[in-house]
Amino acid sequence: MSCAFDVAHVSYHPTDLLPQPQSGKFLTIKKAMKITGAPCGYSRTLQEGSNWDLIGSIPEGNVYKPRDQVLTVECSNVYEAYLVCVSQSLVGFYLPVEQGFVALKKAVDLPTD
Amino acid sequence: MKRRLQFALLILLAVVLSACATGAKFTEVNPDLVSESPNMGRIFFYRPSAIGAALQPDVMLNDEKIGKAISWGFFYVDRPAGNYQCVTSTEVERKVSFILEPGQTRYVRFTVSFGFFVGHVYGELVDDSVGLEEIKDCKYIGQEKP
């Protein structure tokens, strides 16, 4: 059970995804990684061995969709999210329903193959 | 004094139990996890807790009422692939948005958080393995025969 008395919103800005369907490229997380810079202070964990398929790009970076775990960002509401990376660094999240980008406060290097 | 307290606890227990789902357990219903139609996806909704059982908000999926978030209850719907927003309202409106793909199964878990006057019931998208494990003890409250 969590505690939230008021409604807080995830800050995102609209962005355009340039799809790269069936790119064949993907990331594998070598070691479980906790991301603490997500919106509203909620942490998220990228699971060890999880695979993330490159599905396209937005101006902020490449977009990777999870193959075997669910990723969301949340404040009062919850949004499905994909990773946005520049090289091996995670810079934020892409919200596929809202077609928006949520920036991490600070980019973090991902433990990938 | 002790008797009054016991009586109050019994009343409270009765209220909580009467607010929980009744029906066949998930493991008894044993529904198909995937939609029969290849163009559709299946979404399971469940609430694996008795906390705030008196709160039973409507569950709206893309503005359509599809059920209620009842403690220890579950139901599912099949929908075409696309973007979905699930909304539950108590004193505030809570949303969870997600993509549904053809042949995909998604699990939305309802949880209660503290509110100002009453609790808030909100949906979370969870991993398939988590959803499948947590839903086992929930009881079917869907309108359609599984």
Residue A42, pLDDT score: 80
Rounded Cα distance between A58 and A56, Å, is 7
Q: Is residue B123 part of a domain?
A: yes
Q: Is residue B146 part of a domain?
A: no
- Look at A1 and B112 and tell me if their CB atoms are within 8 Å: yes
Q: What angle do CA B32, B37, B41 make, to 5 degrees?
A: 70
Q: How many domains does chain B have?
A: 1
Tens digits of pLDDT across chain B (146 residues): 666 666 555 455 555 555 788 889 999 989 999 999 999 999 999 999 998 888 899 999 999 999 999 999 999 999 999 999 999 988 788 999 999 999 999 999 999 987 666 778 999 999 999 999 999 999 999 876 66
Q: Is residue B28 part of a domain?
A: yes
Q: What are phi and psi of A35, to 5 degrees?
A: -105, 120
Under 8 Å between Cβ of A20 and A54 = yes
Q: Is residue B21 part of a domain?
A: yes
> Which among A36, A32, A67 is positioned nearest to A47, based on CA atoms?
A32
Q: Is residue B111 part of a domain?
A: yes
Q: Is residue B43 part of a domain?
A: yes
DSSP B97: E
Give tens-digit pLDDT for A19-60.
998 889 999 999 999 998 777 778 889 999 999 999 999 999
- Look at B111 and A1 and tell me if their CB atoms are within 8 Å: yes
- Look at B127 and A69 and tell me if their CB atoms are within 8 Å: yes
Domain range for B117 is: 2-140
Q: Which residues of B33-57 are buried (b: 16+ CB within 10 A; e: fewer)?
A: eebeeeebbbbbbbbbbeebbebbb
DSSP B137: G
Under 8 Å between Cβ of A71 and A60 = no
Under 8 Å between Cβ of B26 and B139 = yes
Q: Is residue B10 part of a domain?
A: yes
Which residue out of A42, A67, A80 would a mutagenesis test of the B interface target, given it has the greatest number of B Cβ atoms within 10 Å? A80
Q: Is residue B145 part of a domain?
A: no
Residue B8, pLDDT score: 55
> Which among A60, A52, A82 is positioned nearest to B99, based on CA atoms?
A82
Predicted ipTM?
A: 0.87
Rounded Cα distance between A69 and B105, Å, is 13
